[in-house]
Amino acid sequence: MKVTMFKKRKKEIGLAPGTLVHVGQKLVEKTKITVMDYSAKRYIEKEVKSFEECFRYRDTSSITWINIDGVHEADIIRKVGDHFKIHPLIQEDIMNTTQRAKVEDFGHFVYLVVRMTRPERKNGEEMFEQISLVLGKNFVISFQEDIGDTLDPVRDRIRKGKGRLRQQGADYLTYALLDSIVDSYFLTLERQGEEIEALEEDLLTKPDQQIVHRIHRLKREMIFMRKAVWPLREVISGLERMEVSLIKPSTAIFLKDVYDHTIQVIDTVETYRDMLSGMLDIYLSSVSNRMNEVMKVLTIISTIFIPLTFLAGVYGMNFKFMPETEWRWGYFFVLGIMLVAAGLMVRVFRRKKWL
């Protein structure tokens, strides 16, 4: 299946605002809901069969992370929104997987939408998916398009109780999720950087048509990456600037670190884009040079044969009174002249370094 940059939107055109319609590909058959509820001394992790089992976690003193894989079932999104008092327009945005990264503060909750790299490739290409985060007083709800993500380091920290994650609130959990998403970009860029290095070597040693396909694929991935990371910078910066009551000043300091990492990712993406553009120019130049070399050889061969053709044409005429036609050694004499003419031209070409 070919990965496309644009997703169909025709189903929601003309509908009333807040209408829950899934926009994007259905990547999972059944929605999967997992819950991690924790405090400094304990944690619970389980998969629930229905969202009603999550209702009791809204008003607990512990911190709860509810992860929902699959955003195509409108009933589940509606139940989440009604119970946690999420605005209908936000529910609509959650089901629309073509959203640009953004952050919105509604007082009792903060909504963030960003793009996350997939841990695995598909058809040799890097994959991206939309993840929506709803930050409440003591809970975080994440909505993903597919099962599997790059958030396992956060889960491991919660399970093992290492670091300050279990001692902090839901805002710190949101920071940890954003930090894990940004860190996954570095892993993706590392893979792409290794591929670009290998591509440079192949470009210099054996440029062929396959090189062009690899360059265009990597340029396409850079477009996806740039589309994901540039708006993320605005999201992190917005969280820093906005006076969000749900985010403590102590957590805002860590968000600055995520912002710095985002800038590093953007710089790397721009560098790789310039390198790929230069590599495409190098390939086109090398192909042009190879064509010029071929034309040069053919031109030299044609030039050498011009006087030989002239001599063969002169003595190929069927006039009766040509003196050399009756001469016993005429044939060998003309062949000798041809060889001498060809030898002199080759010597001149070599002296001028055309050969």
Residues 67-92 pLDDT 10s: 999 998 899 999 999 998 899 999 99
Q: Please tell me the distance from the alpha carbon of residue 77 to that of residue 92, in angstroms, as a whole number.
A: 9
Give the strand pairing for 63-69 and 110-117: unpaired
322 vs 298, residue with greater confidence:
298
Cα-based angle 287, 289, 291 (whole degrees, multiple of 5): 70
Q: Please tell me the distance from the alpha carbon of residue 258 to that of residue 150, in angstroms, as a whole number.
A: 16
Residues of the chain with CATH 1.20.58.340: 293-351
Q: Please tell me the distance from the alpha carbon of residue 52 to that of residue 303, in angstroms, as a whole number.
A: 87
Domain 15-285: state its class: alpha beta
**CB 217: neighbour CB atoms within 10 A?**
16
Residues of the chain with CATH 3.30.460.20: 15-285
- Global pTM exceeds 0.85: no
Q: Please tell me the distance from the alpha carbon of residue 91 to that of residue 71, in angstroms, as a whole number.
A: 10
Give the strand pairing for 139-144 and 63-69: parallel
**CB 67: neighbour CB atoms within 10 A?**
21
Q: Which CATH architecture has domain 293-351?
A: Up-down Bundle (1.20)
- List, as one string, the DSSP characters of 89-142: HHHHHHHBTTPPPEEEE-SS-EEEEEEEE-SS-BTTB--EEEEEEEE-SSEEEE
Residue with tokens 């605002």: 17
Q: How confident is the model at residue 156 (pLDDT cuts 50, 70, 90)?
A: very high
| Structure confidence at residue 9 (pLDDT) | 53
Instruction: Render pLDDT for 10-69 as a digit per residue (tens, 0 to 9).
Output: 556 667 777 888 888 888 888 999 999 999 888 899 999 888 888 888 888 899 999 999
| Structure confidence at residue 12 (pLDDT) | 60
| Orientation angle between helical segments 249-314 and 209-241, nearest 10 degrees | 160
User: Nearest to residue 72, comparing CAs of 89, 94, 49, 95?
Assistant: 95
Q: Please tell me the distance from the alpha carbon of residue 62 to that of residue 188, in angstroms, as a whole number.
A: 34
Query: Coil, strand, or helix at residue 269?
Result: helix
Residue with tokens 């007082």: 107
